[in-house]
Amino acid sequence: MTEEPSQIYIETIEGTTYLEFHKTELLRLYRKSHQLEALDRIIAENAYLATVEKLARIQLHSLSEKYRLLIKTSPNLIQRVPQKHIASYLGVSEQSLSRIKRQFIY
């Protein structure tokens, strides 16, 4: 939206379908459909809330607490996602994640 290159990227580990729009095309679609504009606002609000929650987890919780929360909120990810990606998501090394995982029984 800022027309600047992103400093982050998203990489999928499973087959994914996505839509990509140039900003001018997206703005044109918003003018044509207020429902689409409202949907985008809801998506943006949810993304903002998820970002705030992730920032709070990073700042307020220990690694054990972050891992416990991940197990609670997304237990299927532990089985489907490689450990290196989970470690990256939690902001720790794979070795640190291994130590924490040993404390938990699924």
Half-sphere exposure of 23 (CA within 13 A, CB side): 5
DSSP states along 14-83: S--------HHHHHHHHHH-HHHHHHHHHHHHHHHHHHHHHHHHHHH--HHHHHHHHHHH-HHHHHHS-H
Instruction: Report the share of the chain in percent with pLDDT over 90.
Output: 40
pTM of model > 0.75: no
Tens of pLDDT, residue by residue over 67-82, are 888 888 888 888 889 9
Is the distance from CB of 33 to CB of 11 less than 8 angstroms? no
11: CB partners within 8 A, 6+ apart: none
Structure tokens at 32: 């044509």
Tens of pLDDT, residue by residue over 11-42, are 888 899 988 888 899 899 999 999 999 999 99
